[in-house]
Amino acid sequence: VAGGTLYVGAFDLEARDPATGERRWTFETDVDRGSLPAPTVASGTVYVPGSLGDPTLYAVGTGGEERWRVETDADVDAPVAVADETVYVVDEESTVYALDTAGEERWRRTLGADVSRSAPAVANDRIYLGSWDGGVLALRTDDGTTDWRRDDGATEFRVGGPVAVTGE
């Protein structure tokens, strides 16, 4: 919920009234094969990855109009993060993209760890990601280089969801 609107990643992106559930508008993505990952709202823009077979990040205004779209190398299964006028996206090939809020690529980096299921968390000039191999890593926000990676057996479980961090 942002700005008095509930945004839902169904087969298409829907905007609904949070009090009544009434649909306000629908933004149709290019492919209707499974539900969309959760949308992320920042500064009047809704960012939502496409569904299965649609390796696209859509930027949609809060009135339902498309602002831009960027194709990724593979599908995106997790929500994106937005911080400091940068949109961070992770695709199924564990490529991390940093885009400016106009959709222009700042950098991209393919990682050796399977972070494809992890929504990025951004704080302290770092992007934090969990990996399917049980590790956690931090990338620098300015260029995507790995600041640190820990997969030293501290957890024996796969980290398939988002991690959380505070900027404090």
pLDDT of residue 159: 65
**Would you say the pTM of this structure is higher than 0.75?**
yes
Q: How confident is the model at residue 53 (pLDDT cuts 50, 70, 90)?
A: very high
Pairwise pLDDT comparison (111 vs 151), residue with the higher score: 111
Cβ pair 59, 52 in contact under 8 A: no
pLDDT of residue 158: 62
The dihedral over CA atoms of 97, 101, 106, 110, expressed in degrees to the nearest 10, equals 0
In 76-158, which ranges are E strands? 81-83, 86-90, 95-100, 105-110, 121-123, 126-130, 136-140, 146-150
In the β-sheet with 95-100, what is the strand arrangement from edge to edge? 81-83, 86-90, 95-100, 105-110
pLDDT of residue 164: 79
